Amino acid sequence: MLATSNIGFSQGMVDGFMKGKGNSSVALSYSYESYDTYFVGGTTTQNPNLGTIATRSLSIYGVAGLTDKLDAIVSLPYIKATANQGFWQDQKGLQDAAFYLKYNALEQKLGNLGSLSVMVAGGIATPFSNYIADAPVAIGHHSTNLDGRLITQLKSNYGFFLSAQGGYIYRSDVKLDRDAVPLPESGNSPYYNRHTSHVPNSFDYSAKLGFASSLVYADAWLHKQEASKGTNIGPGIPFPSNAVSYTRTGFNLFVPLPFYPAVGLGGGSSFTLNGKNVGKATRFSGSLVYNLPSWQKKQI
């Protein structure tokens, strides 16, 4: 397969497929996400001073098989966030560069049923530009994130697969830009002070059901993030110390071009079902994927 289901970055950087030694792919993806309603606590609210917030992103993604058991993954998105009401400035720029390693720790054949894979992955994402984090219209938290996770996948001999993964994301504190937004009213908050803000860490889980062959790839997924203690949006103004939790679902579809199978087209959509301190967003994405020639020398 040329594509993996994380090309659209709807649910993380890693999946349950390995590239194999010498194989690599690059992808250019575009996504559009918008919302006018927030989940705050267990309720929903709107902010007429912001209206609808829209986020457009153009991302470059690459994955390479360093060995048959070890993959390297990189990504870098350019993001623009806008609000159609109020006086807040649009934000745009390169967001966070990410680098991950994924290791296939166990590959167990299950006879005629298929195989079971168990993988571990770890990565880092860090800001690539000096974008503003503490503004209602922002492109990221500007924190450095360390991510570790465990992935399991069942693959049948007929192309169907079921995968699940869980992980923990550590996020560093961030410096606040006092020229961008006034400090929230709380003199003794454990989550921020005059110069820095704590960005809550989170547990991250997802499950995916799909089909993969040389002619088509398709999946449907469910993704859940549970943040540790932090602040709530108030009133309708996001802040880096907000504890962001959510449940999202979506699907992806990919097909290689029949006249040039090294290139393929992908698309997908996702929806925020519920959450806390997060927008009730709908997202659409598309991608162009190119499978590079293998650098692994063939046996004669």
Q: What is the CATH number of the domain that holds 197?
A: 2.40.160.40
Which of the two residues, 162 and 297, has the higher pLDDT score? 162
User: Residues 168-175: what's their mean pLDDT?
Assistant: 93
User: Residues 202-230: what's their mean pLDDT?
Assistant: 95
Q: Is residue 183 part of a domain?
A: yes
Q: Is residue 150 part of a domain?
A: yes
Q: Residue 114 sits in which domain range?
A: 24-292
Q: Is residue 189 part of a domain?
A: yes
pLDDT at 220 over 50: yes
* pLDDT tens by residue, 113-156: 899 999 999 999 999 999 988 777 889 989 999 999 999 999 99
Listing DSSP states for 34-84 in one string gives EES-EEETTEEE--TTT--EEEEEEEEEEEEESSSSEEEEEEEEEEEEEES
Q: Is residue 151 part of a domain?
A: yes
User: Residues 38-59: what's their mean pLDDT?
Assistant: 88
Q: Is residue 14 part of a domain?
A: no
Q: How far apart are CA 8 and CA 269, in angstroms?
A: 9
Render the burial of 106-124: b for 16+ CB within 10 Å, e for the rest.
Answer: eeeeeeeebbebebbbebe
The total of structural domains in the chain comes to 1
Q: For position 236, what pLDDT does the model report?
A: 53
Q: Is residue 18 part of a domain?
A: no
Q: For position 179, what pLDDT does the model report?
A: 44
Note whether 73 and 97 are within 8 A (CB): no
User: Residues 4-22: what's their mean pLDDT?
Assistant: 71
Which of the residue ranges 12-21, 224-233, 234-243 would you say has the lowest mean pLDDT?
Answer: 234-243
Q: Is residue 10 part of a domain?
A: no
Structure tokens at 92: 């745009």
Q: Is residue 11 part of a domain?
A: no
222 pLDDT band, cuts 50/70/90, is: very high
189 pLDDT band, cuts 50/70/90, is: low
Q: How far apart are CA 127 and CA 260, in angstroms?
A: 36
CA angle 222, 223, 229 (to 5 degrees): 145
Q: For position 234, what pLDDT does the model report?
A: 67
CB contact set of 227 (below 8 Å; sequence gap of 6+):
200, 201, 202, 243, 244, 245, 276, 277
